């Protein structure tokens, strides 16, 4: 438990992705089975204990600590579990602290009435960091800035086995992952995928560059719309139905409507959308259904999900991935005609004879839900990752407005000495009719390192007030902000929320009074 | 577990806490009524029968100074009494320790001042730090200044003095503060250095006391590489060395080439670790040596990657145990989280009082 606690502690304080990978790789290399496997499970959200933890903790702490002192401490620390970890009377530690595996296995099998006594015993044996890590583990949410994908990436870096290979067998292995670690360390065979519904790494595209665009010919490439949802993989094999995100997270629980409609024997690639009466709803509507473990009946009715299919990877157990795209496409269409599963349709192929024609088509496309164009080589097999020269995306030129910098916040990690996160605003009329700025968005990228240094200097020289890590600046600097779309939002004072805003250009030259008004932004809202 | 904050406040108010009371100079003094002869005026804590203040605000006639930190040793007093080390610190920081005269008192020596006798005892906080023992007509009062009980190779260890009234600090007076072994924290720093050999490790540390303690702990752990210093820290290190505290090889960080600092330990004032100064360092791991680092929100707030819980103040248990060991029947709490400590004092049957001295709020290190 000590090394797991130290790992969590370091991860929680380490902002850099590469440093996190290095900490994880070190841990996997130096920790024996089954502890490292349970750690991997905890980090990749695979461990859940159904425990009334809040009640258990209250029961444990009340006889130990004066409630007045506990409350004063809780107010200072700001987190109940951390307060308990810190306040638990230490020093009575006897015997060796428990191993992570011992804790996990005991919790998985123990009757819930036995848990308080077990927990008290462990807390006595652990130090403050260990107690904090144990309570984190038991809540089931570590919140140390590690996604399942980052944990898998660390496995890949540590073992030298490609990430795509790990992702492919991921859903066939289970905590404590001894079989997986044996394979990764070269002492065991590759875990058997068999006929189960497991994630197959997706094929991804490159942003097309102008010179590449000129080489596109319709005899080699087909074009499709790029839909504005999230890329998913739907699988129904061996009696299991699953829906995976593009990073291999199992999101079946949030989308029972589409999962139910997948017929047996296939693995499909498509775009998950919310659709009403055959129309794609704005991305915001899909957002309402993401990041939930389950979904309410009302939500299923008001935000019906749908998959617009792009590709087929397996049919009746046959692996279609080695086939050329155009053959897979034919199989997909035939299969769809035969089964016509509900809540799915096929993303259409766009006929074109020249790039110029394609460009005109695209410029005229105003349908909602279109994010850009995809260009796919007719003879490409389905390859994991982002292979060069096969699939291209051609995204719509972004929307832009000129906004005024209002607040700057210190960044994290390498940027912690820089004011690198910018909140910008648009003009509107205040209550007395005078122009005032209202914040419309926040962004921390789009500029070069050199520009960051200049911006940092500008912020420090134009500060009018500061609140902890945030500085309010004179409303004098204009940013040309690029964004993909803008939506209504009740959570923001301005009533609008931008999608994917980035600093497109710094308009050192432009007077702030000439920046855009809120009405300009509001006019771009997609209803 | 959640309680109404109003209930909590009224409970605290009922402990017999008297704040901001000013006592008339002609009130009759009685040794057993401490507040008749130890009063709080606008300059701070004043001993009437001795005619001196302890750690007063600037410009007192006569001041006894417990230690050299800026919230205790202020400029502009006429006369200052302190240990030789504290006077040296004051001269380093302020140019001069007093306007008219200084007097040195070594640990354990007793001096008669007016009707009282004064003894300075080691407080274990920083080099030269002292508790002030005041004896008057059989009454013994100890003013702790800042103190700690845990081992520190750079200063004399805290010496317990039994007393009737104990005036204590309360910087870390919440039961969540249990500082642990500083050697383990330094071991964490050394391990992190091994894990990230391409990065500098910049450790935020208060210039007087914490810096030298961290260096001494590193040396004790066998770390014999040069240690790099921000300019602001060099002077105090030289001062410590002049009093015989060995710190090993120290180098200036400011002029050092970037590549030279890869894998090295660099000490800097807390204000510099995540600001422009630190950009000269190669991809630094930001560490901070402070008792506050025990609380995650505090560490995250300051952008710290490697929090090191190393404190020069007593933690909760040390505060509580020291109060018990002095045998004091009355305890005054000077600065910090006095609510929690007063609650504890009250539940153990002692009289408690918050002094609420001006300008002593939340000293940061």
Nearest CA in chain A to B280: A417
Measured between beta carbons, the chain B residues lying within 8 angstroms of A76 are: 174, 176, 295, 337
For A94-103, A284-293, A513-522, B145-154, which range has the lowest pLDDT when averaged over its residues?
A284-293
Instruction: Count how many Cα atoms sit within 13 Å of the Cα of residue A176 in the half-sphere of its side chain.
Output: 18
Residue tagged 């805290």 (tokens): B158
Neighbours of A109 (CB within 10 A): 8
Q: Which residues contact B140 (CB under 8 A, 6 or more apart)?
A: B133, B134, B161, B162, B163, B164, B165
First to last CA, chain B: 31
Rounded CA-CA distance A222/A236 in Å is 28
Helix A100-109 vs helix A128-139: crossing angle, to nearest 10: 40
pLDDT at B5 (0 to 100): 39
Nearest CA distance, B227 vs chain A (angstrom): 23
For A358-510, strand residue ranges (E) read: 370-377, 391-395, 399-410, 419-429, 435-443, 463-467, 470-473, 478-483, 485-488, 496-499, 502-507
Segment (H or E) for A54:
helix A53-61
CB A170 within 8 A of CB A209: no
Question: Chain A within 8 Å of B252 (Cβ-Cβ)?
Answer: no
Is the Cβ of A61 closer than 8 Å to some Cβ of chain B?
yes
Contact B340 A26 (CB under 8 A): no
Shortest CA distance to A64 belongs to which of A23, A124, A11? Answer: A124
Look up residue B200 and give its two tokens.
């500098």
Burial of A63 (0-12, 13-18, 19+ CB in 10 A): exposed
Confidence of residue B52 (pLDDT cuts 50, 70, 90): very high
For residue A173 the two structure tokens come to: 């292995």
A305-315/A344-346 β-pairing: parallel
Task: Write out pLDDT tens, residues B162-173.
Answer: 999 999 999 999
**CB < 8 Å to B347, chain A:** 66
Q: Note the pLDDT of residue B362.
A: 42
Alpha-carbon dihedral A84, A89, A90, A91, rounded to 10 degrees? 180
Inter-chain CB proximity A72 and B337 less than 8 Å: yes
pLDDT at residue B21 greater than cutoff 50? no
> Any chain B CB within 8 A of the CB of A90?
yes
Which A residues in the span 483-512 are in contact with B, Cβ-Cβ below 8 Å?
none
Q: Which residues 6+ apart lie within 8 Å of A457 measured at CB?
A: none
Closest CA of chain B from A474, distance in Å: 21
Interface size A-B, in CB pairs within 8 Å, comes to 95
- Between A13, A71, A410, which is nearest B8 by CB? A71
Contact (CB, 8 A) for B188 and B300: no
Q: How far is A417 from chain B (nearest CA, A)?
A: 4
| B293 or A467, which is more confident | B293
pLDDT, residue B23, reads 44
Interface check for A70 against chain B (CB to CB < 8 A): the answer is yes
Strongest mean pLDDT among A203-217, A327-341, A479-493, B291-305: A327-341
Topology, domain A399-522 = OB fold (Dihydrolipoamide Acetyltransferase, E2P) (2.40.50)
CATH code given to domain A206-395: 3.30.470.30
Q: What is the pLDDT of residue A291?
A: 72
CB contact under 8 A, A73 and B295: no
The pLDDT of residue B2 is 38
pLDDT at A213: 84
Tell whether B13 is within 8 A of chain A (Cβ): no
The helix/strand/coil state of A404 is strand
Residue with tokens 């260890």: B157
Closest residue of chain B to A26, computed from CA coordinates: B195
Q: Report the SS3 class of residue A363.
A: helix
Q: What is the DSSP string of B7-75?
A: HHHHHHHTTT---S----TTSPPBTTBHHHHEEEETTEEEETTTTEEESPSSS-SEEE----STTTS-S
**Residue of A60, A86, A450 to mutate for B, most B C-beta atoms under 10 A:** A86
Residue A483 DSSP SS3: strand
- Select the residue of A69, A83, A90 nearest B344 (Cβ to Cβ): A69
CB contact under 8 A, A417 and B275: yes
Confidence of residue A441 (pLDDT cuts 50, 70, 90): very high
| Selection from A80, A91, A129, A71 nearest residue B175 by Cα | A71
Instruction: Tell whether the model's pLDDT for residue B20 goes beyond 70.
Output: no
The model's pLDDT over B105-115, given as tens digits with 9 standing for 90+, comes to 999 999 999 99
**What's the DSSP call for residue A203?**
B
Chain B residues lying within 8 Å of A80, measured CB to CB:
1
Structure tokens at A343: 């809540």
Q: Scanning every residue of chain A, which has its alpha carbon at the shortest distance from the alpha carbon of B176?
A: A87
Examine domains A206-395 and A399-522 and report if their fold is the same.
Answer: no
Mention every residue, 6+ apart, whose C-beta is less than 8 A from residue A484: A371, A396, A398, A399, A499, A500
Residues of B in contact with A72 (CB under 8 A): 8, 174, 337, 339-340, 343
Give the distance from residue A467's alpha carbon to the nearest chain B alpha carbon, in angstroms: 12
* Closest by Cβ to A83, choosing from B176, B279, B306: B176
Q: Calculate the average pLDDT of chain B.
A: 90
Say what the pLDDT of residue A368 is: 63
Reply yes or no on whether the pLDDT at A146 is more than 80. yes
pLDDT digits 0-9 by tens, A227-283: 888 999 999 988 889 999 988 888 998 999 999 999 999 999 999 999 998 888 888
Rounded percentage of chain B residues whose pLDDT exceeds 70:
90
- Contact at CB, A86 and B178, closer than 8 angstroms: yes
| Nearest Cα to Cα of residue A347 among A270, A238, A278 | A270
Nearest CA in chain B to A88: B176
Inter-chain CB proximity A61 and B340 less than 8 Å: no
pLDDT surpasses 70 at B333: yes
Give me the mean pLDDT over the B219-239 stretch. Answer: 96
Q: What secondary structure does DSSP assign to B282-346, as a single string? A: SS-EEEEESGGGGSHHHHHHTT-SEEE---SS--HHHHHHHHHHHT-SEEEEEEE-HHHHHHHHH
- Which chain A residue is nearest to residue B278, measuring alpha carbons? A417
Strand segments, DSSP code E, in A210-284 are: 221-227, 230-237, 240-245, 266-276, 279-280
Cα separation, A503 vs B63, in Å, equals: 58
Supply the pTM of this predicted model. 0.78
Q: Are the beta carbons of A72 and B286 separated by less than 8 Å? A: no
Q: Nearest-CA residue of chain A relative to B294?
A: A86
- Asked if the C-beta of B106 comes within 8 angstroms of chain A's C-beta atoms, the answer is no
Touching check for B220 and chain A: CB below 8 Å? Answer: no
Task: Compute the distance between CA of residue A76 and CA of residue A83 in angstroms, rounded to an integer.
Answer: 9
Which residues of B, range 158-187, sit inside 8 Å of A by Cβ?
A: 174-178, 180
Mean pLDDT computed over A270-299: 86
Contact criterion met (CB < 8 Å) for A69 and B174: yes
CA distance A5 to A63: 26
- Whether A377 has a pLDDT exceeding 60, the answer reads yes
According to the model, what pLDDT value does residue A492 have?
Answer: 84
CA-nearest residue of chain A to B341?
A69
What pLDDT score does B358 carry?
47
Confidence band (pLDDT; 50, 70, 90) for B4? very low
Average pLDDT over residues B256-270: 95
**To which residue do tokens 């304080």 refer?**
A13
Residue whose pair of structure tokens reads 């003095």 in the numeric block: B161
Sequence-ordered strand ranges (E) for B171-317: 201-204, 227-229, 250-252, 265-268, 285-289, 306-308
The Cα–Cα gap between A358 and A372 comes to 11
Contact call for residues A409 and A498 (beta carbons, < 8 A): no
Cβ contact A82–B296 (<8 Å): yes
Is residue B17 predicted with pLDDT exceeding 60? no
Task: Encode pLDDT of A147-171 as tens digits.
Answer: 888 999 999 999 999 998 998 898 8
At B19 the pLDDT is 36
Where do the domains of chain B lie? 5-176+313-354, 182-308
The mean pLDDT value of chain A amounts to 90
Flag whether pLDDT at B10 surpasses 60.
Answer: no
Residue B135 predicted with pLDDT over 60: yes
pLDDT band at A209 (very low <50, low <70, confident <90, very high): confident
Q: Which of the four CATH numbers 3.40.630.30, 3.40.50.720, 3.40.50.261, 3.60.15.10 does domain B5-176+313-354 have?
A: 3.60.15.10
Q: Is B1 on the interface with A (CB under 8 A)?
A: yes
Closest CA to A231 of A215, A219, A248, A252: A248
Query: Nearest to residue A426, comparing CAs of A519, A509, A520, A516?
Result: A516
Q: Which of A72, A74, A417 sits opposite B274 (nearest CB)?
A: A417
Interval A101-138: pLDDT, tens = 999 999 999 888 899 999 999 999 998 999 999 999 99
Q: Using the beta-carbon criterion (under 8 Å), do B1 and A68 form an inter-chain contact?
A: no
Which of A58, A69, A127 comes nearest B343 by C-beta? A69
Q: Which fold has domain A2-139?
A: DNA ligase i, domain 1 (1.10.3260)
CA–CA min distance A379, chain B (Å): 46
User: Quick one: average pLDDT of A377-399?
Assistant: 88
Contact between B178 and A128 using a beta-carbon 8 Å cutoff:
yes
- Summarize the confidence of residues A159-184 as an average pLDDT: 92
Could you give the C-alpha distances from B58 to A87, A411, B62, B70, B94, in angstroms and in order? Answer: 38, 39, 11, 11, 12
What are the strands of the beta sheet with A221-227, ordered from one edge? Answer: A206-207, A391-395, A370-377, A221-227, A349-350
A80 touches chain B (CB under 8 A): yes
- The confidence score (pLDDT) of residue A44 equals 87
Asked if B2 and A71 come within 8 Å (Cβ–Cβ), the reply is yes
- Flag whether pLDDT at B304 surpasses 60: yes
pLDDT at B209 over 70: yes
In whole angstroms, how far apart are CA A261 and each of A198, A235, A335? 17, 11, 14
Catalytic residues of A: 226
CA distances from A399 to A395, A440, A521 (A): 12, 14, 10
Question: Which span out of A177-186, A510-519, B275-284 was modeled with the highest average pLDDT?
Answer: A177-186
Q: Test B8 with A72 for CB contact under 8 angstroms.
A: yes
Lowest mean pLDDT among A111-115, A404-408, B135-139, B258-262: A111-115
- Which residues 227-256 on chain A approach chain B with CB closer than 8 angstroms? none
Q: Which residues of B, range 267-326, sit inside 8 Å of A by Cβ?
A: 274-276, 278-279, 283, 286, 294-297, 299-301, 303-307
pLDDT digits (tens, 9 = 90+) for B119-132: 999 999 999 999 99
Chain B positions in Cβ-Cβ contact with residue A13 (cut-off 8 Å): 299-300, 304-307
pLDDT band with cut points at 50, 70 and 90 for residue A489:
confident
Per-residue pLDDT, B96: 93
Mean pLDDT over residues A428-453, rounded?
Answer: 90
CATH class of the region B182-308: alpha beta
What ranges do the domains of chain A cover? 2-139, 206-395, 399-522
- Inter-chain CB proximity A73 and B176 less than 8 Å: yes
Could you read off the pLDDT of A28-40 as tens digits, one per residue?
999 999 999 999 9
**Band of pLDDT at residue B26, cut at 50, 70 and 90:** low
Query: Are both B5-176+313-354 and B182-308 of the same fold?
Result: no
Contact B274 A87 (CB under 8 A): no
Chain A residues with CB inside 8 Å of B301's CB? 468-469
Please give the pLDDT value at position A166. 93
Instruction: State phi, psi for B30 to the nearest 5 degrees.
Output: -130, 130
Q: Is the pLDDT higher at B308 or at A417?
A: B308
What's the rounded Cα separation, in Å, for the pair A474 and A465? 9
Label residue A366 by pLDDT band (50, 70, 90): low
Using a pLDDT cut of 90, give the percent of chain A over it.
56
């Amino acid at each position: 438990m000590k090394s797991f606690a130290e790992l969590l502690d370091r991860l929680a304080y380490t902002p850099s992705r590469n440093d996190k990978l290095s900490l994880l790789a070190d841990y996997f290399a130096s920790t024996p089975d089954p502890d490292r496997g349970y750690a991997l499970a905890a980090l990749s959200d695979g461990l859940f204990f159904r425990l009334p933890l809040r009640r258990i903790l209250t029961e444990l702490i009340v006889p130990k600590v004066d409630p007045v002192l506990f409350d004063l401490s809780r107010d200072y620390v700001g987190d109940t579990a951390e307060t308990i970890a810190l306040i638990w009377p230490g020093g009575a530690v006897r015997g060796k602290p428990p191993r992570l595996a011992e804790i996990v296995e005991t919790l998985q099998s123990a009757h819930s009435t036995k848990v308080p006594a077990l927990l008290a015993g462990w807390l006595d044996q652990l130090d403050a960091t260990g107690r904090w890590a144990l309570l984190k583990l038991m809540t089931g949410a570590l919140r140390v800035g590690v996604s399942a994908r980052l944990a898998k990436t660390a496995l890949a870096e540590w073992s030298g086995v490609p990430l795509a290979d790990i992702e492919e067998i991921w859903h066939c292995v289970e905590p404590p992952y001894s079989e997986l670690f044996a394979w990764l360390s070269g002492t065991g065979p590759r875990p058997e995928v068999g006929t189960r519904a497991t994630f197959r790494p997706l094929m991804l595209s490159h942003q097309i560059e102008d010179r590449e665009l000129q080489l596109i010919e319709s005899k080699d490439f087909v074009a499709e719309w790029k839909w504005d949802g999230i890329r998913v993989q739907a699988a129904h094999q061996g009696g299991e139905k699953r829906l995976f995100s593009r990073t291999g997270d199992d999101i079946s629980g949030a989308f029972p409507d589409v999962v139910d409609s997948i017929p047996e024997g296939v693995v499909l690639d498509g775009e998950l959308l919310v659709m009403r009466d055959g129309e794609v709803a704005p991305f915001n509507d899909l957002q309402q259904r993401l990041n939930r473990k389950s979904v309410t009946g009302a939500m299923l009715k008001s935000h019906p999900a749908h998959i617009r299919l792009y590709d087929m990877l397996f049919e009746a157990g046959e692996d279609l991935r080695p086939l050329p795209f155009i053959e897979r496409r034919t199989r997909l269409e035939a299969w769809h005609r035969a089964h016509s599963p509900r809540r799915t349709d096929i993303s259409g192929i766009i006929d074109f004879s020249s790039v110029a024609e394609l460009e005109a088509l695209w410029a005229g496309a105003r349908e909602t839900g279109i994010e850009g164009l995809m260009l796919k080589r007719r003879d490409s097999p389905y390859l994991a990752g982002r292979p060069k020269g096969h699939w291209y995306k051609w995204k719509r030129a972004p929307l832009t407005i000129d906004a005024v910098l209002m607040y700057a916040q210190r960044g994290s990690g390498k940027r912690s000495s820089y004011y690198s996160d910018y909140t910008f605003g648009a003009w509107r009329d205040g209550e007395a009719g005078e122009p005032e700025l209202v914040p419309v968005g926040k962004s921390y990228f789009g500029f070069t390192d050199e520009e960051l240094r200049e911006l940092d200097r500008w912020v420090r020289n134009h500060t009018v007030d500061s609140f902890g890590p945030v500085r309010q600046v004179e409303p004098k600097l204009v940013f040309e902000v690029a964004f993909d779309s803008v939506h209504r939002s009740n959570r923001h004072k301005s009533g609008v929320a931008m999608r994917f805003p980035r600093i497109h250009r710094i308009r050192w030259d432009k007077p702030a009074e000439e920046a855009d008004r809120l009405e300009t932004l509001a006019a771009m809202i997609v209803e | 577990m959640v309680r109404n904050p109003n209930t909590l406040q009224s409970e605290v108010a009922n402990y017999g806490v008297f704040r901001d009371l000013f006592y008339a100079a002609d009130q009759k003094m009685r040794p057993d009524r401490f507040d008749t002869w130890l009063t709080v005026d606008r300059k701070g804590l004043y001993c009437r029968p001795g005619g001196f203040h302890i750690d007063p605000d600037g410009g007192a006639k006569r001041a006894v100074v417990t230690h050299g930190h800026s919230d205790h040793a202020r400029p502009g007093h006429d006369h200052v009494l302190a240990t030789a080390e504290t006077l040296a610190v004051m001269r380093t920081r302020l140019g001069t320790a007093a306007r008219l005269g200084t007097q040195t008192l070594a640990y354990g020596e007793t001096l008669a001042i007016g009707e009282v006798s004064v003894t300075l005892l080691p407080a274990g906080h920083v080099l030269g730090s002292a508790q002030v023992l005041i004896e008057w007509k059989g009454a013994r009062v100890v003013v702790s200044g800042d103190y700690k009980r845990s081992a520190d190779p750079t200063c004399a260890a805290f010496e317990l003095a039994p007393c009737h009234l104990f005036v204590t600090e309360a910087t870390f007076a919440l039961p969540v503060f249990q500082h642990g072994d500083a050697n383990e924290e330094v071991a964490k720093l050394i391990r992190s250095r091994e894990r990230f050999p391409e990065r500098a490790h910049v450790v935020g540390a208060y210039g007087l006391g914490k810096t030298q303690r961290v260096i001494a702990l590193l040396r004790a752990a066998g770390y014999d590489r040069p240690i790099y210093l921000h300019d602001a820290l060099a002077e105090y290190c030289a001062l410590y060395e002049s009093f015989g505290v060995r710190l090993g090889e120290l180098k200036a960080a400011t002029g050092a080439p970037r590549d030279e600092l890869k894998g090295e330990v660099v000490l800097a004032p807390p204000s510099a670790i995540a600001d422009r100064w630190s950009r000269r360092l190669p991809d630094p791991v930001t560490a901070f040596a402070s008792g506050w680092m025990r609380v995650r929100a505090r560490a995250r707030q300051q952008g710290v990657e490697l929090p090191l819980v190393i404190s020069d103040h007593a933690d909760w248990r040390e505060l509580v145990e020291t109060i018990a060991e002095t045998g004091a029947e009355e305890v005054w709490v000077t600065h910090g989280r006095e609510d929690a400590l007063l609650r504890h004092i009250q539940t153990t049957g002692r009289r408690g009082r918050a002094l609420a001295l001006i300008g002593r709020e939340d000293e940061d290190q």
